[in-house]
Structure 1
Amino acid sequence: MRTKLFSYLNLDSDVENFDSIHATIERDINFKGTNLWILSFAIIVASVGLNMNSTAVIIGAMLISPLMGPINGMGYSIATYNLPLFRRSLKNFLFAVAASLVASTLYFVISPVSTAHSELLARTSPTIYDVIIAFFGGMAGVVAISSRFKGNVIPGVAIATALMPPLCTAGYGLATGQFVYFFGAFYLFTINTVYIAISSVVISQILKFPIRTVVEEKEKKRINQWITVIIIITLIPSLYFGYELVQRERFNENADRFIKSVSIIEGNYLLNQDVNPGKRTIRLVYWGNSLSEKQKRSIIERASSFSLDSSLIQLEQGFSLLDEKKNVDEISKLNSEINRLKMVLSKKEQDADSLRIRLEIGKQLLTEVKAFYPQVTTCSYAEAKSYDDSTKKYVQEPLVIFISRKEDFSTADRAKLQTWLKNRLNNKTARAYFETRK
């Protein structure tokens, strides 16, 4: 059983010739000719996609970007202790990074659109989840490069690990002087770079790529120490940011449930709320009868039921005697909100009345029909949707079942009851069914 399991997990049978793998990695390292032109185009495409907030364009830039080449080269050269190849990979990688930063910065300097859209902001707050994506995405990429069956893994890895967008976002930060964006995006790019390279190291060692250079044990140990240091330095901030992300999401969920529970407080209506997950504060603005101290304490104390610190709840009364214009505006808002709530309550009452009436229809029909047809002992009422395959629409049809426990319904009785039912319900689609249970 264990041997069979290992045979499924074994990669050796699918691994490409080591010389071919080495040649592929060496070829993709260089940024000249075709790769240089493709890099230039990818930079512009990614920058425009971020500027226009176009997800499709950004994905296109990820697919055509050749940045994975030197990163895989660095990981492969570290795993095989090929320092000359590592230097070449690092040199080409730094050149690509510098070119991308310069080009994207120049683009955003001259672009008339400087708004930070959602696609751009998404690249400024890396977390531990980005580490996981980069590491396992990189492993998939290296396995695909090493395999004789490439498939469509490489494009998928390019999209998942997203090297080009954070680099162009860093250029946006430089162009607009928003260095928080620059450092956040560049840190995300660093995470992707480091953990894709580390995944290359891991797979290269698992597949036992041959060491092509002579290296001393002391040098190997020093390289391994440097790898450990880089992994730790890159990982620690992402753990903190990941923890902060989880806390913010949890705070938002708790705040949302808390706000719904205090939207109406004894004649006071919640007009506005402001939830700040960064500062962990909740600001609530009420309108209506002035909140008493008792009501304020009740609202603040209720926060603890939703795992919220009561000291973070800020309560404000929307009405201000010092600002007449504001009072008029607030009164208008209050009237609109009151009218809306009245309409909502009226609609709910109508729905409830309609439901109660429908529940009683069967009972009413039974009472009325027994006066003429005493053999009817049970009456069931329901509304069904009748679909027409030519129009793909449905018609709501009342269905009534009359049950007799004494004698069968004659044909004449059935016809009379059917006609009576349609007139009684004022619905020509109403249908009557008859059943005898003796």
Structure 2
Amino acid sequence: MASKENPIVTFFQWLTPRFHLLDDLDKPGTIESIQKGAELVGSNLWTLIFAIFIASIGLNVNSTAVIIGAMLISPLMGPIVGVGFAAATNDFNQLKRFLRTLTIATIVSIITSFIYFSLSPISEAQSELLARTTPTIYDALIALFGGATGIIANTRKEKGTAIAGVAIATALMPPLCTAGFGLSQGNWYYFFGAIYLYLINSIFIAIATFIFVRYMEFPKVDWGLYKEKETKVKVYLSVFAFIVIIPSVLTAYQIVRSSFFKGKAEEFIRREIITNGRRVLEKNIVYGNQSKIEITLLGSKIDQSQEDELKNRLKYYSLEGTELVLLQDLSTTGLDKLKFEILSEIYQYQMDIGNVNTEKIAKELKIFFPNLLTASFAKTKKFDMNENVYKDTNLFDSEWKKLPTKDELEKLEAYIRLRSGEKEMELITRLKIEK
């Protein structure tokens, strides 16, 4: 009687081959392709410069589509993948070559973006620029998985479209452009933040490349009779790997801690601070040696005993040692400033709208009513004593050389209603008295 095979074993026998990476591996083609990435001369150099200009323009005008286009044509991925590949194959000479190429590419990119942003009339930092100044754990993970995808796609006989997607996902060019922007504006926070993000992306791409090249068993450099040199090379590579991996692990750890802190702070605000009668106008979450949560509140006030209880509850959100600052008094400088800014914006908006409408309407009316001297148009409220309520209305006040006739008044009112789009309208016409 034939013995039945274990279904679990059968399942894994069916599943395992589907994860093989060696079936359609093209080692000679991969080595040739990676070697080309070390060349930053001629067309490659010009492509990099033009791609940086395109990405800088995209960041300047806040156009995601333009930025994506620049990332697609950028040759920056080549030397970074080459660094990981050379380290994995014990090729110290190639490692130095790729590092030199990457350094030149980085410097050229920053100088190019610096030149563009120094000449650009738009000096405001758009959202796409600001997003490239602070790395998060997600940036590190994207770089790691993007690097893995890139080297796997690059080692296939059929390259497919994955490499283009990796160039977009890992986003190497925008941080360099942001660094150039920071340099042109003298903003060192933007500059170092963007360089930091670029280094994180590059390091994790190289690490992913190193791991998969070793897994796919690419041939290592054979030093032949020069065993002493081979030993020295291995020491150099070990030191290089240590320098690259240890700081990146520490960086990843710090990024995870920062993301965890900010997530817990958001949860604390959402659960403990926000109620039906209270809203958060502004919040500032700072992670570091002296972590702080600063919140500007609107609505029902938190008294001292409630504030003490909230500070005590921070420990339940793993936020021990965090300073909690609540800005809720009208006498608070920050809130006074915020209130002033809000009211100023509302007033300025109303003035702008009123000026534009009044000016246009008055000039048009002057064509049809030559006796019209001055005009003003404003939104206001009138009190209805019968119903004991305020009602919205619009007031048109005007001075005339000669008062309009009844027929002219009807035309005037009809024209203003049509031109302003308002249904409720009060007309005041006054004869200008000459002194």
Calculate the TM-score normalised by the size of structure 1. 0.65
Amino acid at match of 1:147: R
Deviation of residue 223 (structure 1)? 0.9
Cross-structure match for 2:100 = 91
Contact 2:311 2:324 in 1 (8 A): no
Amino acid at match of 1:7: P
Cross-structure match for 2:244 = 230
Q: Secondary structure at the match of 1:280?
A: strand
Matched, 1:253 2:270: no
Contact 1:126 1:238 in 2 (8 A): no
Matched, 1:60 2:74: no
RMSD, aligned α-carbons:
2.9
Matched, 1:282 2:290: no
Deviation of residue 60 (structure 1)? 1.2
CA distance in 2, matches of 1:101, 1:87: 21
Contact 1:286 1:317 in 2 (8 A): no
Amino acid at match of 1:277: I
Task: Using the aligned pairs only, state the percent identity.
Answer: 39
Amino acid at match of 1:318: L
Amino acid at match of 1:73: G
**Runs of 5+ unmatched residues, structure 2:** 1-8, 224-228, 287-291, 347-435
Amino acid at match of 2:64: T
**Runs of 5+ unmatched residues, structure 1:** 265-269, 334-438
Contact 1:125 1:241 in 2 (8 A): no
CA distance in 2, matches of 1:197, 1:311: 39
Contact 1:104 1:168 in 2 (8 A): yes
Deviation of residue 147 (structure 1)? 0.6
Structure 1 counterpart of 2:201, from 178, 181, 192: 192
Matched, 1:314 2:314: no
Cross-structure match for 2:426 = none
Change (3 A) 1:106 1:7: same
Contact 2:147 2:208 in 1 (8 A): yes
Deviation of residue 190 (structure 1)? 0.7
Cross-structure match for 1:134 = 143
Deviation of residue 254 (structure 1)? 2.4
Structure 2 counterpart of 1:11, from 13, 21, 32: 21
Deviation of residue 3 (structure 1)? 4.2
Cross-structure match for 1:273 = 281
Amino acid at match of 1:159: I
CA distance in 1, matches of 2:152, 2:144: 12
Residue pairs, 1:241-390, within 5 angstroms:
241-261=255-275, 263=277, 273-278=281-286, 279-286=292-299, 295-298=303-306, 301=309, 307=317, 312-314=324-326, 316-318=328-330
Task: String of CA shifts for 1:91-119, please: whole Å, max 9, x gaps.
Answer: 22111111001000111111111111211
Q: Secondary structure at the match of 1:312?
A: strand
Amino acid at match of 1:282: I
Contact 2:293 2:323 in 1 (8 A): no
Contact 2:117 2:184 in 1 (8 A): yes
CA distance in 1, matches of 2:268, 2:130: 24
Task: String of CA shifts for 1:168-219, please: whole Å, max 9, x gaps.
Answer: 1111111111111111110111111112112221111111111244162342
Amino acid at match of 2:330: G
Deviation of residue 303 (structure 1)? 6.6
CA distance in 1, matches of 2:327, 2:21: 62
Deviation of residue 253 (structure 1)? 3.4
Change (3 A) 1:283 1:3: same
Cross-structure match for 1:160 = 169
Change (3 A) 1:263 1:157: same
Q: Secondary structure at the match of 2:208?
A: helix
Deviation of residue 311 (structure 1)? 6.5
Task: String of CA shifts for 1:280-330, please: whole Å, max 9, x gaps.
Answer: 12233558xxx7xx955346535756858897243544379xx9xx99x99
CA distance in 1, matches of 2:199, 2:327: 43
CA distance in 2, matches of 1:34, 1:9: 38
Change (3 A) 1:4 1:198: same
Cross-structure match for 2:253 = 239
Amino acid at match of 1:39: L
Deviation of residue 124 (structure 1)? 1.0
CA distance in 2, matches of 1:45, 1:262: 47
CA distance in 1, matches of 2:196, 2:54: 21
CA distance in 2, matches of 1:55, 1:129: 19
Contact 1:45 1:61 in 2 (8 A): yes
Deviation of residue 50 (structure 1)? 1.0
Q: Secondary structure at the match of 1:93?
A: helix
Deviation of residue 233 (structure 1)? 1.3
Task: String of CA shifts for 1:209-237, please: whole Å, max 9, x gaps.
Answer: 11244162342143123202311113313
Contact 2:24 2:157 in 1 (8 A): yes
CA distance in 2, matches of 1:295, 1:224: 59
CA distance in 1, matches of 2:192, 2:331: 43
Amino acid at match of 1:108: F
Residue pairs, 1:170-185, within 5 angstroms:
170-185=179-194
Change (3 A) 1:302 1:139: closer
Cross-structure match for 1:217 = 231
Contact 1:296 1:315 in 2 (8 A): no
Structure whose CA Rg is larger? 1
Change (3 A) 1:223 1:275: same
